Structure 1
Amino acid sequence: MKKTITALGLLLSMGLITACAPEVGTEAWCTAMDKKPKGDWSTNEAKDYTTNCLFK
């Protein structure tokens, strides 16, 4: 029972965190990516940034 409650709490927390992230391609997302170190970007983030922020 305790493991189930812990797992549900973890899933709920993850859902709340990801719900607060700006949508890819929006102005807020581009600004957040500008502040994030380039070395921490994933390949998909770099592609999305190029597509949505540089070539608008």
Structure 2
Amino acid sequence: MSCPICGSDTVIKFRPFCSKRCADIDLAKWLNGSYAVPSQREEDLDADGSQDEPEQQRPH
């Protein structure tokens, strides 16, 4: 099995990764939203900013 981050051979202690570094890189991707599963729920589609309502304008 190879590490999903760098492709090196895995180490049992960090499996499925080869090192703590690659495990931490993967964790960071999860935490910052790089890995995301798209939602098909209607309320999520409304919250993504593609609403038909005009933006409120603030005075300058």
Query: What TM-score bracket applies, with the shorter chain setting the length?
Result: 0.3 to 0.5
TM-score, scaled to structure 2: 0.31
Q: Which has the larger radius of gyration?
A: 2
Q: Which has the higher contact order (CA 8 A, sep 6+)?
A: 1
Write 1 or 2 for the structure with the bigger share of helix. 1
